[in-house]
Amino acid sequence: MKTFFLVFLGGGLGSMARYLAYRAMSQTSYPIFISTMAVNIAGSLLLGVIMGYALKQGNFSQNILLFLTTGFCGGFTTFSTFAFENMSLLRAGDYLTFSLYSIGSLVAGILAVLGGLFLARLF
């Protein structure tokens, strides 16, 4: 039951952080999908740092990992919004932006996780 609560708490905090990031980025002139992409890349980087640090330490608490990764990072990043925005781009016939957003998000997310793993080695 404790692990469920930790994931619940982390997810709630991650969702609140995502909402604050969206609000901050809505003050810019960037299209809304840029906010989603930025949040997903930042979450991927954070996940890479957390996992890299945990692997390096070797004795990281499973509960803390669940709270930070499944909970916070899972609540902070958002695949459903990413999918909806892609559908909106397809419906609008904006195939170039759809392609750049989809491929860019995937590549940047993977590179961010790798970057996070690399950064964790520095600690």
| Closest of 76, 68, 67 to residue 38, by C-alpha | 76
28 is in an annotated binding site: no
Spatial distance between the Cα atoms of 100 and 104, rounded to a whole number of angstroms? 5
Q: How many CB atoms lie within 10 A of CB 101?
A: 20
The pair of three-digit structure tokens given for residue 36, joined into one six-digit string: 């989603």
58 is in an annotated binding site: no
87: phi then psi, degrees, rounded to nearest 5: -65, -40
Residues belonging to the binding site are 74, 77
Residues belonging to the binding site for Na(+) are 74, 77
